[in-house]
Amino acid sequence: MGGVPGLSGDSVPAPSDGRIEGMPTTPPFALLLDVDGPIASPVTRDVDPKIIALLLELAQAQIPVIFNTGRSDDFIKNEVMEPMIAAGFPPSLKIHAICEKGATWFTFDDTGAGELHVDHELAVPENYAEEIRSLVASSFDNHMFFDETKRAMVSVEQNLDADNADYRRVQLEFDAAAVEAMIRLGLGVEHLDRTVPDSGDVIEYRVDPTIISTDIESVALSKDLGARRALDLLAADGIVPAAWFTVGDSRTDYAMADWLASNGHEVSHVDVRPDDGIPAGKPYPVLTAQDLGLGTEVIHDEAGLAFLRHWRDRIHTGRSAVAISQSSV
């Protein structure tokens, strides 16, 4: 494994300042991963065991793995953390998870989840959450359910047995009703291209549809907030990656790479669902499954699996995975 900084097999002194045991202070790269799409299937909502195994291999190879998701901490614990622990989580390893687009975060190791941090100032008002809960139960429960695991956001999600095309049609009706409920309660809201300020001319909340859900959230929540939290968590461990790969399946996920690039970090973004269109003029490489020689039909967690396997293989052959962002695959 010679040639990859921090992966030569040389012994690493025991950390004295909270650092992860065995982790180099400057690993060659870190992974900042959205979960729905790149890691969890948007169809089954669970994670392929092959992805779990690759995440563990990369983390054991001293590559920081951080999840940055709109999902709740419960989802990450059940669908990612527990399968990783069951697959054989080394006692020297820990992984950070930023959930609800930065509103909550926690760290887990082989013993399970540590303390959950919640920024309550970013929570949607409870009276609004209750109205949406009732709205879903009375008018939309054939196609979607209210996510009871969220602590700051309000989210509704497509039922597993619902057809996605039918869901997307009904989602338009739900989103319109969610916006109107915001307006009725005097809350400033934005939805796609529409903005309705409150009486103080302020936009406080966002109605944000995805392909399988709608998130209703503070406008302060975003994937760039998650990126900032990820850097803070690694800094507390004494770790400053030489480069980053961010991975997502929507336009909003580019905010991770945007923030990292604007703050002087080397970064490449992997888009596992580029059908929405790749934004032009990004100051960093944007990669898709086609850069691995795969067809355009390889998307979502299949593309995520391919990239994880690619990075694993590059590490084990002693080649810098960062080369993918500079020249070729």
pTM: 0.88
Residue 171 and residue 292: Cα distance in Å, rounded? 34
Map out the domains of the chain as residue ranges: 30-103+222-325, 121-218
3-state secondary structure of 107: strand
pLDDT per residue of the chain (329 residues) written in tens, 0 to 9: 233 222 223 222 333 334 445 567 899 999 999 999 999 999 999 999 999 999 999 999 999 999 999 999 999 999 999 999 999 999 989 999 999 999 999 999 999 999 999 999 999 999 999 999 999 999 999 999 999 999 999 999 999 999 999 999 999 999 999 999 999 999 999 999 999 999 999 999 999 999 999 999 999 999 999 999 999 999 999 999 999 999 999 999 999 999 999 999 999 999 999 998 999 999 999 999 999 999 999 999 999 999 999 999 999 876 655 554 444 34
> What is the pairing mode between strands 205-209 and 194-196?
unpaired
Give me the torsion for CA of 328, 22, 82, 155, rounded to 10°: -60
Beta pairing class for 194-196 and 189-191: antiparallel
Pick the CATH number of 30-103+222-325 from 3.40.50.170, 3.90.1170.50, 3.40.50.1000, 3.40.50.300: 3.40.50.1000
Euclidean distance between CA atoms 39 and 300, whole angstroms: 8
Q: How far is CA 310 from CA 37, 88, 155, in A?
A: 18, 22, 33
